[in-house]
Structure 1
Amino acid sequence: MSSPDAAFSPSSSSPPIIPEAQNLPDPTTPTSTAATATTATTTASSSLDTPLRERGLMHSAVEDRDTDIATATASGTASAPGSGPADDKMVGWHSLPAELRSLILRYAIEAAQQKPRSYHLSALAVVCGEWQELVEAVNFASLKLISADLSDFDSLVNGRRRAWLRHIWLKVELPKYGKKKNCVPETDEEQQTNDIHFTTDVQSLFELLARWPVEDCPAGLEFELSARSPSDTQKLAGALGVTEEGDSRYFDSHLDFAFLDTQWLGSHGLPMVDVITKFAVLRRCWRNIDPNAILSIVSSLPRITELRYEPFQQFDDGAQEVLDMDRARLIPHWPKTLKRISLFEHFDQADEDMENGKGQNAPREDDTTDGGNVVFVDEAGVVLGEEFLDDNFVDVDDDDEEDDDLESDPNETEPRTCAALAMTVARRSIELEELSVAFMCDARHFFQPFFEVRTARQPDLPVWQSLRWLSLTSSALHYDTTAAQLNSLFLAAAKAARRMPALRAMEIFNTCKHCSGAFRYVVGTTSATIEWEGSWSVEIADNVERTWREVARTHAGCDLVVRECRRIPHKGMFHFVNHNLATRDLVVHNISANDMATKKYPAPAPRLRLR
């Protein structure tokens, strides 16, 4: 078990604009020959339909992080200071103090990264060797690759550029298809062809990176993987791409490896890569990647410490159940080196509800009444605790006078969970330092042992020696759920927290088309706090306060502050995740947070930051 002091690995967010001034190379120091032999970057805008031979070598994810515009690279020449007759006219720059020169260059780089922009960041690299070194440190921090780039990737990214590299986004390009097949499931032959493309690209990149020594990338690389056909459209990647018969080109197939011969490769079919320490499949990957493929990848990364997996929720209950059971079966085989796991099952945003003024923005007159339509049992029918029992296991009467739009009717946008998956994740979390599971399993299943009255014959409860951050979802957090039922969950979480000596943040939340809410415990510098923040009010029970106060005093050495209930308007699921979650930095990748944001409501800085 690792030390709690090592809980926070370097942030997986996008690389900084430029290193801080005190970390910049001394501009007065002569630049090496390698530094002055510049690689300038010219721009060549093209869509995904452009033939590969016209696309250039690779694409800087810093320059064009959110679009498919390609930035081609070409060789250029930058003159070092003092190398030409024009130097007499440039003495003004070199006579400036080093701090001022660094500040000017930083502003120039920031301006080049702004959108809309008239030029690309790489154009600054040809000014001189000093500018080249600092610009390349930013430009090579994050790269996106397609299959055509792989042949030149190893030779172009060499030497010091490998030390600058932090993030590689491999975009597997699948074959095109006609518009008539937009919502038609792929044939077996098409799936096999896609698997071959997927296998070839991932295997080719791993063969290159397998030759890189750890010393070349001392900080480690984040490897992001996505797959897309040029014919794919974001509009049809969600609910609109599902026909009335339930068919979908996106949901009905899963990319997996099609290895022909693995004898000369690793035990899982891929070469072992030491320089990758983080692996991510984010929501901008519209295609399903099979859980077996995820296992093959992480098993080929002996130094992996972080996994972020953000698949889309399936629209077919049967397909979702199969996926969840596969994940429950394979997660125990993920590497023991993992210390941070973030699982986020994405869904379609219910924009139409917010535009029509629906949702749970106003107080309800029956906030404290018992909701007989909520029954808290697992898939096997086992009740999770007496506090969750209702006298009547029936739905609300059909003649209920409440607005139908506010009823908790089941629909495809609300999460479905698997008890077996939650229990598997709970067992796996004992070895982790940070864990977030959103909409993929339920906190009631995760904390199931802490609802029960313990007997001497039952096995000992687990101890999470290193767990510092924990974020879970539960569909129990709904305005139809009684305060007693909610407090039962919060109490079970507190009992579990007793056995988490390193815990610094726990958040249990839910957001759906009608409401949003979160219960959180956070340890600060002088005190610990618990609070409820949601679109409806919840009163925290006295026994919940007492148990959490015991946790704070025992493990954090400070007193507990119980904050007043914070009532917020419900502005949508994505808005709640971005603006109201304290643990958002763990729940979703920074790239996904920006993807879910809108122009009106850009993603703010996280309340709590991973280190």
Structure 2
Amino acid sequence: MASWYSYPPEIRSMILDQVFQTGAACRNLGACAAVCREWQTYIEPKNFRRLVLNHSCVADFGRILHNRTWMVQHIWLRIELPRYRCTTCCLPETRKQKQTNNQIFTKALFQLLEILGSWEDDSTGRYGPVDNTGPVLELSVHSPSDMKHRNDVFALDKDVYPHKLDESCTSEEFDDYVERKLRKDFDRGQVCTAAVGNRTNIEHLRMFAEIQLDFEGLGYLEFPTVNYTKALIVRRQYYRSFNPGTVAEIARSFRRIGSLAFEPITRDPNPFSEAIKQGYKMLILEAYRCRSLSIFQGHYGRQVLRKPWRKLSSKFSLSLVDKSEYFENLSVAFAGDAIAFFQDFLQPGSRKYRPHLDPSRLPVQNALLGRLSTDEVHRILGLGQGQEFQQELLKVTGFENGRIPRSVYQPRWRWLKTLALTSRFDNRFDLFEAAAFAALQMPQLQVMEIWDGQGLDLVEFFRYSRHENGGDERDPPAITWLADLVVALEPRVTAAWDRVARMHTNQSIRVLVPEFPGSDEKPRSPYGVIGYLELREKIVHQLSLREFEWYYDDWTRPVERRGVEEVREFNP
């Protein structure tokens, strides 16, 4: 009988590929890796590439990964909380239950970050011989009971969520994987007794309980430091959300974050309480640690259709402007309006034009301090950062009336390549013109998209695109405007973007007007317009986007996964 090594390398590779796929399906990859050293060398890097951890196994994680840390590319810390019964699913958690849940998550995350920090080589800062960027860290918290007390399980569990697939999996791959997994367990997502008796409580309260950090009694007050992570992801897979301030505290433990994707979901059509607003303020203050930031403030189910369109105050957008100077990619959906983001660039005659700067903005104050002598700067800084400091600064710089002209400070984004924002399009042409003046301060900009996602059957977006093919060949820059209303762009908008194109590419702008989709092609999802955008996978995590498509696609979802009313239509 021929030995394993007598086969050509190409044949051995084909056999190993098949063994890996079969072993992964049977969950027996450990036994496969033990066959011989070549099998181990092939299978282990694939097996440890993407890991799912619960709080009960974090302690053993570091020991198992000894000398294998370079293999790990993605860690999903998936915390399972205690179960609950139908009789309590529509009741808020008690104070003691909240504390228990918060401490379970806090302790597990501390242990994991402690392990990640220990992976780093002090002399080189590398994680291993291959990967010097660090792993992706994904966080989620849920109770297994969350999936048993609701009408339709949009929150996929680890047996269904294709974690072994890359985030770049296609819609077809996602649909095929999910459908095969779901048909093995028809009981997942059944409506509980309490929900049947009261249809309004389908969105039971416990599923939407917020998770916060709680260090009480744990013996530490903050997380250990980790030098770098490739990405920090909080997806909308589960509805137990994190306050933005909680994400900010977690991000603070990393010296650098390649990208941060935050997708909170809420059942409240007006989610921006004072606690949430303060949390977002903290998150923006920590944003300098990121190269890429994506915020997708979503709602549960069709509640996204409720009006008025909710957003944070303009101060949030201005803070984002001031903190995003060194970003490469930025996307903010439903947490602010694009017209507030471009407030500094609105032109005279625009309805929301402001000729003066806010004196409380830190970059504005820094610009004013730059006009003073060193002795004056030290004297004013000695007053602290309160009202007295601001008044004295305005006085010595000659702006005692508080009217600081916009020429004193203008935002600039030196490295920004992509930008995606949402807007109501109430002042669309003022907005598009202001976006062009802002783009003059974005020398690396490749794609900017501003879109309206406030309801079904609505496809409205504005796009600027400038794609470089490498070498001296470049596609001419273009602007694209697609809207339900057939309204041509005003000449001032085209002229402003032509100035951008000529400054950055020495070419004139093209204006593209794509054919509007017919009624049978319009999206059925409240977020369906995302599918028309170039930056869709930067606006929302790729697998979240697949879930949107799957959730609203009645043709590909199995009958067992549809709502009670839909099932009755198929089973009269």
Q: Match of 1:467? A: 416
Say whether residues 1:203 and 2:110 are aligned partners: yes
Say whether residues 1:290 and 2:239 are aligned partners: no
Correspondence for 1:423 among 312, 315, 318: 318
Q: Match of 2:142? A: 228
Q: How does 1:233-272 map to 2 (within 5 A)?
A: 233=147, 235=150, 249-250=205-206, 253-260=209-216, 269-272=222-225
**What is the one-letter code of the residue matched to 1:139?**
N
Correspondence for 2:3 among 90, 95, 112: 90
Contact 2:55–2:104 under 8 Å retained in 1: no
How far apart, CA to CA, are the structure 1 residues paired with 2:126 and 2:555?
41
How far apart, CA to CA, are the structure 2 residues paired with 1:534 and 1:100?
54
Q: Match of 1:79? A: none
Q: Deviations over 1:451-474 (max 9, x none)?
A: 243578333221111111100011
Q: Deviations over 1:464-490 (max 9, x none)?
A: 1111110001122xxxx6xxx422221
How far apart, CA to CA, are the structure 2 residues paired with 1:245 and 1:577?
29
- How many Å apart are 1:328 and its aligned residue? 3.9
| Alpha-carbon spacing, 1:548–1:248, altered in 2? closer, same or farther (3 Å) | same
**What is the one-letter code of the residue matched to 1:102?**
S
Say whether residues 1:543 and 2:543 are aligned partners: no
Q: Deviations over 1:135-185 (max 9, x none)?
A: 2211211101001211211111121x2101011111122222221221211
- How many Å apart are 1:112 and its aligned residue? 6.2
Gaps of 5+ in 2: 156-190, 349-354, 357-403, 469-473, 557-572
SS of equivalent to 1:492: helix
Q: Match of 1:522? A: 465
Say whether residues 1:571 and 2:523 are aligned partners: yes
**What is the one-letter code of the residue matched to 1:334?**
E
Say whether residues 1:434 and 2:329 are aligned partners: yes
**What is the one-letter code of the residue matched to 1:541?**
E
Q: Match of 2:76? A: 169
Say whether residues 1:457 and 2:352 are aligned partners: no
How far apart, CA to CA, are the structure 2 residues paired with 1:104 and 1:575?
42
SS of equivalent to 1:89: coil
Q: How does 1:355-394 map to 2 (within 5 A)?
A: none
Q: Match of 2:567? A: none
| Alpha-carbon spacing, 1:247–1:100, altered in 2? closer, same or farther (3 Å) | closer
Contact 1:350–1:513 under 8 Å retained in 2: no
Correspondence for 1:444 among 332, 339, 350: 339
Correspondence for 2:58 among 150, 155, 158: 150
How far apart, CA to CA, are the structure 1 residues paired with 2:69 and 2:526?
35
| Alpha-carbon spacing, 1:429–1:250, altered in 2? closer, same or farther (3 Å) | farther
Contact 2:142–2:207 under 8 Å retained in 1: no
Contact 2:243–2:276 under 8 Å retained in 1: no
Contact 2:244–2:276 under 8 Å retained in 1: no
Question: 428-437 or 539-548, which moves further after superposition?
Answer: 539-548
Q: Match of 1:280? A: 233
TM (norm. structure 2) is: 0.69
- How many Å apart are 1:219 and its aligned residue? 2.7
| Alpha-carbon spacing, 1:253–1:190, altered in 2? closer, same or farther (3 Å) | same
| Alpha-carbon spacing, 1:124–1:475, altered in 2? closer, same or farther (3 Å) | farther
- How many Å apart are 1:123 and its aligned residue? 5.7
Say whether residues 1:533 and 2:444 are aligned partners: no
Q: Match of 2:449? A: 507
- How many Å apart are 1:125 and its aligned residue? 2.9
How far apart, CA to CA, are the structure 2 residues paired with 1:124 and 1:521?
51
SS of equivalent to 1:565: coil
**What is the one-letter code of the residue matched to 2:333?**
A
How far apart, CA to CA, are the structure 1 residues paired with 2:449 and 2:282?
26
**What is the one-letter code of the residue matched to 1:185?**
P
How far apart, CA to CA, are the structure 1 residues paired with 2:99 and 2:3?
60
Q: Match of 2:294? A: 342
Q: Match of 2:169? A: none
**What is the one-letter code of the residue matched to 1:474?**
S
**What is the one-letter code of the residue matched to 1:169?**
W
Q: How does 1:20-31 map to 2 (within 5 A)?
A: none
Contact 2:338–2:421 under 8 Å retained in 1: yes
**What is the one-letter code of the residue matched to 1:303?**
R
How far apart, CA to CA, are the structure 2 residues paired with 1:169 and 1:227?
11
SS of equivalent to 1:274: strand
Say whether residues 1:140 and 2:48 are aligned partners: yes
Contact 1:349–1:573 under 8 Å retained in 2: no
How far apart, CA to CA, are the structure 1 residues paired with 2:526 and 2:15?
37
| Alpha-carbon spacing, 1:350–1:491, altered in 2? closer, same or farther (3 Å) | same
- How many Å apart are 1:128 and its aligned residue? 3.3
Q: Match of 1:553? A: 502
Q: Match of 1:367? A: none
Contact 1:413–1:513 under 8 Å retained in 2: no
Q: Deviations over 1:292-341 (max 9, x none)?
A: 32122111111323111000144153x52324421342134305231110
Correspondence for 1:590 among 542, 548, 555: 542
Aligned length: 442
| Alpha-carbon spacing, 1:250–1:572, altered in 2? closer, same or farther (3 Å) | farther
- How many Å apart are 1:252 and its aligned residue? 6.5
- Coordinate RMSD, CA, aligned: 3.3
How far apart, CA to CA, are the structure 1 residues paired with 2:254 and 2:441?
31
Contact 2:154–2:547 under 8 Å retained in 1: no
Q: How does 1:592-607 map to 2 (within 5 A)?
A: 592-598=544-550
Q: Match of 1:212? A: 119
How far apart, CA to CA, are the structure 1 residues paired with 2:464 and 2:19?
42
More helix by share: 2
Q: Match of 1:181? A: 88
How far apart, CA to CA, are the structure 2 residues paired with 1:275 and 1:565?
42
Contact 1:250–1:286 under 8 Å retained in 2: no
How far apart, CA to CA, are the structure 2 residues paired with 1:245 and 1:108?
47
Q: Match of 1:3? A: none
| Alpha-carbon spacing, 1:496–1:243, altered in 2? closer, same or farther (3 Å) | farther
| Alpha-carbon spacing, 1:417–1:260, altered in 2? closer, same or farther (3 Å) | closer
SS of equivalent to 2:413: coil
**What is the one-letter code of the residue matched to 1:322?**
E
Gaps of 5+ in 1: 1-87, 352-408, 603-611
Q: Match of 1:309? A: 262
How far apart, CA to CA, are the structure 2 residues paired with 1:183 and 1:412?
26
| Alpha-carbon spacing, 1:144–1:537, altered in 2? closer, same or farther (3 Å) | farther
How far apart, CA to CA, are the structure 2 residues paired with 1:493 and 1:601?
39
Q: Deviations over 1:404-462 (max 9, x none)?
A: xxxxx971695444323222222222231110001111111111222243578333221
Contact 1:340–1:435 under 8 Å retained in 2: yes
**What is the one-letter code of the residue matched to 2:547?**
D
**What is the one-letter code of the residue matched to 1:94?**
S
TM (norm. structure 1) is: 0.65
